[in-house]
Amino acid sequence: MKTKSFLKSIMAAATALFININPLSAMIEDEDIAIIGSGSGAFSAAIRLANKGAKVTMIEEKTVGGTCVNVGCVPSKILIRSGQIAHLQEKHPFKGIQKSKPEIDGTLILEQLQERVLGLRQAKYEDILLQNPNIRFIQGRARLTGPTRVSIKTSEETTLELNPTKILIATGSSPTIPDIMGLQETPYWTSTEALFSGIVPKHLIVLGGSVVAVELAQAFLHLGSKVTMLARSTLLSKEDPDIGNGLKEIFEGEGIRVLTHTLPQSITYNGAFNVDLGEETLLGDHLLVATGRHANSRNLGLEEIGLTLDPEGRILVDDHLRTNLPNIFAVGDCTQLPQYVYVAAAAGNKAATNMLSEYTGEETSLDLSIVPAVIFSDPQVATVGLSAKQAQELGYEAETRTLTLDNVPRALANFDTRGFIKLVADKKTKRILGSQIVASEAGDVIQTAALAIRGKMTTHELASQLFPYLTMVEGLKLCAQTFFTDVKKLSCCAHME
């Protein structure tokens, strides 16, 4: 902040003490803080800053709300849910209910999906802008031209210059397209086209084996597509191997062809996709490329101003969300932090506090020691804390137990016993270190494991809690019991201390 305006701020703060207005609002000048991007990380920061009285300028190149609401979490979960309903109509496990082949109208599914996306975008993003006079929104592409200088190319092709005292970069990520011969010349889909085409392919070939690939491959299978997955390594290769192996078996059981350790040699398109695997060529009417996402850090002028990126182009931030440059903060998918919307939002909130610390004296850090994560396949995959391998690498003598779902009453009542619940504990202290789950409702079950880890609970302590019968989360208690007893020999709801 320039000396003159700093003195002005001091005066304003002193005056504010006497006339009882928010001293911070008097100190922060117009355009004091610039936020690049308008996704969850950006909004979380902007709301906190605005509530504290700061003046914020938010710059967005494309659609307000960013990835999650527009082209990510929300539309993908709607498509996945519609697929689940269709799948159950044809393949549910209850003998007394007639099964029938669902009639799918891709256009109507898309219409409903778009309606919900628009509604959520309005309520959670656009209305927030309207309600917050302290947040000014500019449509345009931002670029940093100095450590406290932002140049914005607006949609009208004019250039605006801002001179903020603090900058938050929250520019998100984009799909990574692998370097495969011919691929660039084909009309392949990324997740965005897959979600918004309104088409249910006859044969969808999915390139990739991580979260987005897994979720969308199964959603399209459930909607009636034939699906082939090509994974360079295994499915969900960054997770405990039991997860990828378990999910592959489930997917193959449903009819997805899963080719692991497979990379196409070339891809061409002549009205259909020809995917050359060497020993065979796959033919498909649509190709989804879901091989990960990279940080949007290019063409932002970051290298030119000396901002440190990691070798993958992610902005490096510390646990206070500070970059190596004093007035520049970054959050969300454009950083090295995990690519989840709730991590982006939590980081945005923390960054906002730290951006104001010189006025408030308040500093805070983002604790990522316990990050529950969910993959919305069916059954769901959920993880938290350490896998057995990670625990061993950190020097723990790790003990694990895996409970298959045929031991969980809820799964038996559902007539769906696919999956497992795994707990990792420290053999010496018996403290729970991690959990990996493949089960229907795993996304809800995992939060209990997260809280058990946060509370430093032992397997005995978790096993001795009351868990409501018949819930899926009861499986977590049963799994904890297997550290010291054989659950097969217990009667229904048996309680162990």
Ligand X SMILES: Cc1cc2nc3c(=O)[nH]c(=O)nc-3n(C[C@H](O)[C@H](O)[C@H](O)COP(=O)(O)OP(=O)(O)OC[C@H]3O[C@@H](n4cnc5c(N)ncnc54)[C@H](O)[C@@H]3O)c2cc1C
**What is the footprint of ligand X within residues 294-323 (CB under 6 A)?**
296, 300
Nearer to ligand X, 302 or 423 (CB): 302
Nearer to ligand X, 307 or 391 (CB): 307
Which listed range, 68-76, 276-284, 417-425, 477-485, lies at the site for ligand X (CB under 6 A)? 68-76
Backbone angles phi, psi at 206, to 5 degrees: -110, 125
Q: Are 214 and 377 in contact (CB under 8 A)?
A: yes
- Rounded to a whole number of angstroms, the minimum distance from the CB of residue 291 to ligand X is 12
Nearest to 207, CA basis, from 223, 194, 224: 194
Tokens of 442: 């795993």
Nearer to ligand X, 251 or 340 (CB): 340
How many chain residues interact with ligand X (CB under 6 A)?
Answer: 34
Q: How far apart are CA 280 and CA 264, in angstroms?
A: 10
68 binds ligand X (CB under 6 A): yes
How far is the CA of 474 from the CAs of 77, 174, 176, 299, 465, in angstroms? 25, 39, 39, 50, 10
442 binds ligand X (CB under 6 A): no
- Give the torsion sign (CA, 138, 143, 149, 151): negative
For ligand X, which residue of 9, 38, 82, 354 counts as binding (CB under 6 A)? 38
Q: How far apart are CA 312 and CA 193, in angstroms?
A: 25
- Rounded to a whole number of angstroms, the minimum distance from the CB of residue 456 to ligand X is 26
196 binds ligand X (CB under 6 A): no
Pairing of the two strands 173-175 and 293-295: antiparallel
For ligand X, which residue of 27, 42, 86, 462 counts as binding (CB under 6 A)? 42
**What is the footprint of ligand X within residues 376-415 (CB under 6 A)?**
376
- Rounded to a whole number of angstroms, the minimum distance from the CB of residue 137 to ligand X is 11
Which listed range, 53-61, 101-109, 223-231, 258-266, lies at the site for ligand X (CB under 6 A)? 53-61
Nearest to 165, CA basis, from 52, 328, 315: 328
208 binds ligand X (CB under 6 A): no
For ligand X, which residue of 148, 165, 218, 339 counts as binding (CB under 6 A)? 339
For ligand X, which residue of 344, 384, 442, 445 counts as binding (CB under 6 A)? 344
59 binds ligand X (CB under 6 A): yes
Nearer to ligand X, 142 or 356 (CB): 142
339 conformational bin, left if phi > 0, alpha if psi -120 to 50, beta if neither? beta
- Rounded to a whole number of angstroms, the minimum distance from the CB of residue 343 to ligand X is 7
Which positions from 117 to 146 touch ligand X by CB under 6 A, shown as an x/- string? ------------------------xx----
Q: How far apart are CA 9 and CA 27, in angstroms?
A: 4
Nearer to ligand X, 286 or 401 (CB): 286
The alpha-helical segments, DSSP class H, found in 132-282 are 191-196, 211-223, 241-254
349 binds ligand X (CB under 6 A): no
- Give the torsion sign (CA, 208, 84, 71, 383): negative
- Rounded to a whole number of angstroms, the minimum distance from the CB of residue 171 to ligand X is 4
60 binds ligand X (CB under 6 A): yes
Nearer to ligand X, 124 or 430 (CB): 124
**What is the footprint of ligand X within residues 18-37 (CB under 6 A)?**
36-37
Per DSSP, the residues of 297-322 read -TTSSTTTTT--B-TTSPBP--TT-B
Pairing of the two strands 159-162 and 149-154: antiparallel
Which listed range, 124-132, 165-173, 234-242, 425-433, lies at the site for ligand X (CB under 6 A)? 165-173
**What does the buried/exposed string (b/e) look like for 91-109 if buried means 16 or more CB atoms within 10 Å of the residue's CB?**
eeeeeeeeeeebebebeeb
- Which residue type is seen at 80? I
Tokens of 120: 């959520």
For ligand X, which residue of 76, 274, 377, 435 counts as binding (CB under 6 A)? 76
Q: Are 229 and 257 in contact (CB under 8 A)?
A: yes
359 binds ligand X (CB under 6 A): no
Nearer to ligand X, 50 or 462 (CB): 50
Residues lying near ligand X in the complex (CB under 6 A): 36-42, 59-62, 66-68, 72-73, 76, 141-142, 170-172, 191, 212, 296, 300, 332-333, 339-342, 344, 376
